[in-house]
Structure 1
Amino acid sequence: MKAVVLPPPQPVANSNHFKMNIPASLGQGGADLFSLTSGIQLLIFDWQFNQVRLFQGALKDHSVGFGFCLDGRSDYHPTCFDRSFTIRAGESCFFSFPKGVEFFEKTDDKRMYRVNLLLDGERLLTLINRDEDRFYPILKSLEKRFSTRMGTILSPVMRTVLYQLLHCPYSGTTQQIFLEGKSMELIAHMMEQLCSGCRCCYDSTIKISDTERVHHAAHMLVQDLNNPPDIMAISRTVGLGRTKLFRCFRQTFGLSPFEYLRNHRLQMSMQLLQDGEMNVTQAALMVGYTNLSYFSKAFKSMFGIAPSELRRSIRKQ
């Protein structure tokens, strides 16, 4: 069967909304694409071909996707993988793939109605960078060239959010804000579903060489508190994959790298305040906190006393 190349999306009301209509000779309907301010691309497909069709496409700018199928069925085959995956009504899926991947999709002559959310892998890592253990299954999948988890049932709450998204009552800027919020809500529900009940079992022992790498990583992390290196840069330098680094770090120190850095900063600020040479603002800036309110909350959460109160008590001594 010869593959059909669908026409590219064309801008509609504003620069953030694009639309692709299926040629009348092939069927009816089309797709809407919204480029949201967070970097997420929202795609809404609602079409029906007049016969079984094989069409060709490409995903150029994004490497992670969440799919939600409300109606229809199709077989999706990315060229970077050796087999196809079936997309069915009532199911959702998560997939990661190389940027620029081409794909073929075979769909029948029934209505296809689904929503896809595409984003960059780095954006997803930013969203979950303080909860690595909980989202270990997702982090692990991002390390592979191609990974997919198909056939997850659409939950009632997902269906409610999808209905709200597909029947947005607003336009213009308000529409963009609404779609952004609902897209993030869908991603949150999907991530919870992917990781709920999943216990990531791995060997609790660490090789001596890996322990040395973790200690090297910890040293790099706190060497410059005002400008700590990116976790990916640390990962490359010490020779551990990002997921393995987080796992070994927690097994070695009982903390994630972010928690380790935060604790080190706060302990250093405590020492500076106890020395009596700096005020609260100076101590906060010295250890890398530019938001004084956030620093005070973190300090009190860790030590049970606000830094200003500690400072006053020291001056009275």
Structure 2
Amino acid sequence: MKSAMVLRQIDDYDIILREQFGFSCVKEKCGQTYRIPADIGQGFIRNVFPNEDIGLSIMHMKLKRPLMMNYEDYDSKFETTCCLKGRIVYNETGVIDTQLSQNEMGIYIKQSSRGMMMFPSGEEILAVSLLGQNRFWNNLPYKEESVIQPLGEKSHLANVLMRPRTPGVQLYNLFGQLANNSLDPSLRLSFYEGGAKLILSSLWQAYVIDPLTKNIKNTDLSADRAALFDARDILTEQYMKPPTIPELARMVALNEYRLKRGFKELFGKTVHEFTQGLKMSNAKALLENREMNISQIAYEVGYLNVSHFTRAFRKVHGMNPSDLRF
């Protein structure tokens, strides 16, 4: 097996890809595309900056040799990466699990971070990375608190956010649309900017503002904040077949009473209502996407019986699933 391609410092990205590994580079409006040479693999890395505040990278490749990038004292400001196909190996110093598998994303706000990421060889990889910087970053609320705030006794929010998580269907579809769009070139920059801002803003609200600002009135439950947000993330990722209350309580190390009471107080819904809302929200997004039929969507969100799915969908959205197909 051939040795890996190694970028010793991510700041040397452009020069090393072109001069050492033979990538071609095509300058485009507000960005550039690096084409992978045939002896190394196939595909491209496209970097686009619609303006000075937003950047995105679309990576679609199948490599014959792994590509490794080291980084040290890297200030990510606010970034997210979603792996749509394949996997991306991350090794962030001080964080146990940061590898992204297919259909997983990570959120990065850690300052002066240090580690390595690798694109493995032999598998198709499709991923989208988004960056919010300059005015976008400066205008975000709670950015100072997000960098230093502990979420529980042992975990800082910046480290917790790096851990892989599954985006909901709506976010996943947005990432997919950024990676694969057939818009006229004159519209693409506006689409990239709008899509990136929508995703970044949604993630900041869900994973920074909510954990830092949602108060639990009962002081006995305030110490359970981290576990309750863990419970929310588990339900979001496993909404198709969610754990039972006893299973979820064990997973987040809370007793059932504190879990149910704290979850309702923090998120305004019972565990069941929250999970059901996720199923119906994702079902609606899948119906609007039109790539699956209604039976497939019912199964995708955890229903074996289409009539049961239809009844549940109508109860939440006030219409039948088929109404969205006309």
TM (norm. structure 1) is: 0.50
Aligned amino acid, residue 76 of structure 1: Y
Letter in 1 for 2:149: K
Q: Quote the residue 1:21 is aligned against.
A: 35
**Pairwise CA distance, 1:145:** 11
Partner of 2:81: 67
Matches within 5 A, 1:177-256: 177-195=190-208, 198=211, 199=214
Query: Partner of 2:278 in structure 1?
Result: none
What number of residue pairs does the alignment pair up? 197
How much has 1:102 moved relative to structure 2? Answer: 6.5
Identity of matched residues, % = 14
Give the Cα–Cα distance (whole angstroms) in 1 for the partners of residues 132 and 210 of structure 2: 25
CA-CA distance at 1:110 after TM superposition: 0.8
Retained in 2: the 8 A contact 1:75–1:84?
no
Kindly tell me: are residues 3 and 77 of structure 1, through their superposed partners in 2, closer, same or farther at Cα, counting changes over 3 Å?
A: farther
User: 87, 111, 126: which one pairs with 1:113?
Assistant: 126
Equivalent position to 1:31, from 20, 23, 45: 45
Per-residue deviation at 1:125? 4.3
In the TM superposition, residue 61 of structure 1 has moved relative to its aligned partner by: 7.5
User: Contact conserved, 1:136 with 1:200, CA < 8 A, in 2?
Assistant: no
Is structure 2 residue 167 aligned with structure 1 residue 157?
no
- Using the TM superposition, name which of 166-175 and 104-113 deviates more: 166-175
CA–CA distance in structure 1, aligned partners of residues 210 and 49 of structure 2? 33
Structure 1 residues 155 and 196: CA distance shift in structure 2, 3 A: farther
Q: Extract unaligned runs of 5+ from structure 1.
A: 205-317
| CA deviations over 1:35-80 (Å, ceiling 9, x no partner) | 12152210011111125x24225597743311111111121125x5
Aligned counterparts of 1:156 and 1:82: Cα–Cα separation in 2: 27
Q: Distance in 2 between matches of 1:197 and 1:146?
A: 14
Post-superposition offset of 1:201: 7.0
Distance 1:145 1:197 in 2: 12
CA distance in 2, matches of 1:110, 1:3: 16
Q: Distance in 2 between matches of 1:183 and 1:28?
A: 26
Alignment of 1:26-175 (within 5 A): 26-50=40-64, 53-58=66-71, 62-78=76-92, 81=94, 85-98=98-111, 103-120=116-133, 123-128=136-141, 140=149, 147=159, 148-175=161-188
Distance 1:81 1:54 in 2: 22
The residue type paired with residue 140 of structure 1 is: Q
Shift of the alpha carbon at 1:84? 6.5
User: Amino acid of the residue matched to residue 28 of structure 2?
Assistant: A
Q: CA deviation at 1:186?
A: 1.1
Asked if 1 retains the 8 angstrom alpha-carbon contact of 2:147 and 2:158, the reply is: no
- Cα distance change on mapping 1:164 and 1:103 into 2, 3 Å: same
Is there any run of 5+ residues in structure 2 with no aligned partner, and where?
8-15, 19-23, 151-155, 220-326
The structure with more radius of gyration: 1
- Is residue 76–residue 106 contact of structure 1 (8 Å, CA) maintained in 2? no
Evaluate the alpha carbon distance shift between residue 149 and residue 42 of structure 1 in structure 2; reply closer, same or farther with a 3 A threshold.
same
Q: TM-score, normalised by structure 2?
A: 0.49
- The secondary structure found in structure 1 opposite 2:165 is strand
Q: How far off is 1:149 after superposition?
A: 2.6
**CA RMSD for the aligned pairs?**
3.9
C-alpha distance in 2, partners of 1:82/1:191? 20
Displacement, 1:168?
3.3
